[in-house]
Structure 1
């Protein structure tokens, strides 16, 4: 008989790829969702579904009793109380894996390491908040909940992804750039395009979650990110190769940005300082990442196929053209 897996979430982005990863490794999978975003697996006999609100403890218990999962992958715990309830409800599972975030770190270490870099503190007010500003503190507190659960005998672990990209990414942050590359010959980047925000291909997040569930150590957290980092400018070059087109990446300076009324942080995937994590701890469990060329190609092609353009995530084309004009000296 196949091992059983319960994916809390499982129909949108990280969860959707996690289901596919588990199926590829012979798990019987059940998704636990509110059923509001459609079910891409409704025609798959190997995937069951249970509907409920994950913030409702009774609903979690119902899912547990219906599935009796060997492993639980929790992709949508956004408040520490969610993690606390889940580690209690699924205390008898062989493994519970919480999807945390690289945003849990509160130090600019390069690289940020699981057992060395400071995590955010989380106030009681932040713990029940749902704003962007409290996201990192909430994820960090979820990691601490996992560690406490492990002390009580629960085989609970955390995985900290950096910025995730790939097919079905509803945030469309990377899609902003693939659309620019596909539609225009010239694309502006902040400064020299060397902004280094460590990212991770979504299929690699999915494989990390499975590997940690199978091989991880209780109470531990594991970073997940591309083993080979690459800059924003390199991302555009890889996307152009994938889409069989050419692109002129236009570098911009502070005066150019000021002239166009643009802040560098207006562009998705830009970071003013390098944000990089160490990944050897996860790699030691046998995990590997997809080569950047393959990951970006799969992402760019999927975004174009599904009409994702990400235009809401950055400057509009008129503003970008003003920026390019400023960078070209008004020619």
Structure 2
């Protein structure tokens, strides 16, 4: 008998790859979306679609009744109230997996661990707003909702991705660097380029969600991030390899950046302090991550093929050339 899965979301980025992962493992899949971003699975008779607003309980119930899912993967719950409703509506499923975030952590532990690192508190006001500043607290509260649902007998679990990259990434944060490497011989990085912001390849997020649904323990939280992490400079080198080109990485100092009126945090994927997550707990379930060279090459090639350049995510080329000129004048 074929297992059934309902993916809340499922047509844009993480959800899209999750649907493909489930299909590759012989699930019958239903997507539940607003129907506003196109459906890459429209011609696949293994995928059904239900349209509605995930904040509408009756719409979720309609999707549940249509799919009769063994597994529910919730890729777009951005408020704890969404998670509370979902864990109730899907309480009878064999597994409910909530996509949380590494942003839920509220401590600079290196690495951040599921059972040791503190989570953000979440005020009632934060729980219902949409500010960027409340994103981490909202995700953390969603994790606590999952734990409480498990105490009530729901097979609910959470997966915490670090920053996700890969094909179809509409945020285009990684695409900023892909474009730089593809278009220019010299690319400036903040300071020595050693910034360590733990990332995770989107296909590995998708496999983690499936594996946690199949093998995870109710009430548990699982980090997901590349098992072999790499610096910002190494990212650029891997992009160059994947695009069969060369890149000269220009290291910068505070005065070089100031010459163009640029702050280091203006660059995407930069963090002033290491942000790393432990992944042993997920790996113990049998999960593995993709080799970075393969993951970055696939991502870079897809971004170029689909015209993703991420130019709005960081300093423009004119500012970057000012930085490079300042380095040369040092």
Could you state the TM-score of these two structures normalised by the residue count of structure 2?
1.00
SS at match of 2:230: coil
Matches for 1:158-173 after TM superposition, within 5 Å: 158-173=158-173
Whole-angstrom distance in 1 between the partners of 2:129 and 2:241: 42
Aligned to 1:119: 119
Task: Name the Cα RMSD after superposition.
Answer: 0.5
Report deviation, 1:329: 1.2
Whole-angstrom distance in 1 between the partners of 2:67 and 2:253: 56
The count of aligned residue pairs is 330
Report deviation, 1:172: 0.1
SS at match of 1:260: coil
Aligned to 2:28: 28
Check if 1:321 corresponds to 2:321: yes
Aligned to 1:286: 286
Aligned to 2:241: 241
SS at match of 2:72: strand
SS at match of 2:259: helix
Report deviation, 1:154: 0.1
Report deviation, 1:170: 0.1
Whole-angstrom distance in 2 between the partners of 1:212 and 1:130: 28
Q: Which runs of 4+ in 1 moved over 4 A?
A: none
SS at match of 2:5: strand
Aligned to 2:198: 198
Aligned to 2:214: 214
Aligned to 1:252: 252
Matches for 1:48-59 after TM superposition, within 5 Å: 48-59=48-59
Whole-angstrom distance in 1 between the partners of 2:300 and 2:57: 39
Whole-angstrom distance in 1 between the partners of 2:135 and 2:203: 23
Matches for 1:119-138 after TM superposition, within 5 Å: 119-138=119-138
Whole-angstrom distance in 2 between the partners of 1:268 and 1:245: 22
Whole-angstrom distance in 2 between the partners of 1:131 and 1:327: 37
Aligned to 1:82: 82
Whole-angstrom distance in 2 between the partners of 1:317 and 1:235: 19
Query: Over residues 259-284 of structure 1, what are the superposed CA-to-partner deviations in whole Å (9 max), with x where a residue is unaligned?
Result: 11100000000000000000000000
Check if 1:17 corresponds to 2:17: yes
Q: Which runs of 5+ in 2 are unaligned?
A: none
SS at match of 1:271: coil
SS at match of 1:117: coil
SS at match of 2:329: coil
Report deviation, 1:96: 0.1
Report deviation, 1:210: 0.1
Further displaced range: 221-230 or 255-264: 255-264
